[in-house]
Chains A and B, each alone.
Chain A
Amino acid sequence: MTYSSELIKGTLKTIVLKLLADHKKMYGYEITQKVKELTVDKIQITEGALYPTLHALEADGFVTTEVEYIGKRIRKYYSLSPTGKAKTKEKVKELANFMDTMISLLDIKPKMA
């Protein structure tokens, strides 16, 4: 089962920021693959959603970039800036609170481990 785009839409920035926090620096394709792997294919981020988000994060100053030349093409690595690290904590906390609220609102019983 894959999640609907509406659910993923609001969490994409948080997902990308958290991945960068955990993996220091990553490039676009790597991010899409990591998300697939960690969610067992339940979340599949498309290129059309990922790259605009990465550009927006860069414009916001939350990520910094460095490039690597691979033959005739350029690979752009993204890593968190100091403000990006603070933003990641804020976004993850906000999402965790939101999930708690939704569990309470929808009366969902957490699965026992």
Chain B
Amino acid sequence: MYTLSDQQVDFILDDIRRHGIEIEDLQQNLLDHICILVEQNLEENGDFEQYYSSVISSFYRQEMREIEEETLFLLTHKTPYIVLNRIQFFGLLFTVVMGPFIGYALHAMTGSNTITLGLDGVAIEEWKATIVFSLHPLLILLVLFFTPERLDPLIPRGARVLLGVRPFIRILPTDEPLLDSPASRLI
């Protein structure tokens, strides 16, 4: 039976972190699991690094982060959420950002010609305010929406956006199973 040194335990923990596992509980669970495997299966004078490499690669199919993603998936889906594709997400963003200005314009068109903005009660002409305030968010939305995929790592084309409580926003990469839990890839 192999006995792990403190340095080797630290090395394993660091490697788990390097592999993208950020949840501390999960790090500790995996650390203990790997340590047991090494201690039980490696002979006293065995090659730690070689055995460790073979053990760690058996924990995942593509990358170890899958385990963290699966954990977050299971935890996330306990709270209410909606999933939008890229166009729907930008549509929602457009509505949220632009809605007040459109409402402002409609209000002004059907009502008075001026509207009061700000705490100091300064009256501004409706169209001037609408155009000035709407151009900036509109410009940002348009740039984001039409940016090529390589320059838009935040929400790549084909990705879906999950809006929920915990986390508030999560980007799901293309082709990631949605309602079908990715657990099947891990078993």
Contact B28 A76 (CB under 8 A): yes
Contacts of B26 in A (CB 8 A): 51, 55
Query: A27's closest neighbor in chain B, by CB?
Result: B32
Q: How many residues of B contact A (CB 8 A)?
A: 32
The docked-state distance in angstroms from the alpha carbon of A55 to that of B30 is 12
Using known A-B contacts A49-B70, A51-B26, A56-B75, determine if residue A12 contacts B187 with beta carbons closer than 8 Å: yes
Contact B74 A6 (CB under 8 A): no
Minimum CB–CB distance from B184 to chain A (whole Å) comes to 5
Interface residues on A, range: 20 to 34
Using known A-B contacts A47-B30, A47-B33, determine if residue A55 contacts B184 with beta carbons closer than 8 Å: no
Majority-rule SS of B interface residues: helix
Contacts of A51 in B (CB 8 A): 26, 29-30, 67, 71
Contact B186 A59 (CB under 8 A): no
Contacts of B75 in A (CB 8 A): 55-56, 59
The docked-state distance in angstroms from the alpha carbon of A93 to that of B114 is 68
Contacts of A59 in B (CB 8 A): 74-75, 78
Whether B60 sits at the interface, judged by CB under 8 Å, is yes
List the one stretch of A18-26, A66-74, A97-105 in contact with chain B.
A66-74
The docked-state distance in angstroms from the alpha carbon of A55 to that of B136 is 43
Whether B73 sits at the interface, judged by CB under 8 Å, is yes
Whether B175 sits at the interface, judged by CB under 8 Å, is no
What are the 7 tightest A-B residue pairs by CB atom distance, in nearest-first order? A48-B186, A56-B74, A5-B187, A52-B71, A52-B70, A49-B187, A49-B186
| Chain A interface (Cβ < 8 Å from any Cβ of B) | 5-6, 8-9, 12, 27-29, 45-49, 51-56, 59-60, 70-76
| Chain B interface (Cβ < 8 Å from any Cβ of A) | 6, 9-10, 13, 23, 25-26, 28-33, 35-37, 59-60, 66-67, 70-71, 73-75, 78, 181, 183-187
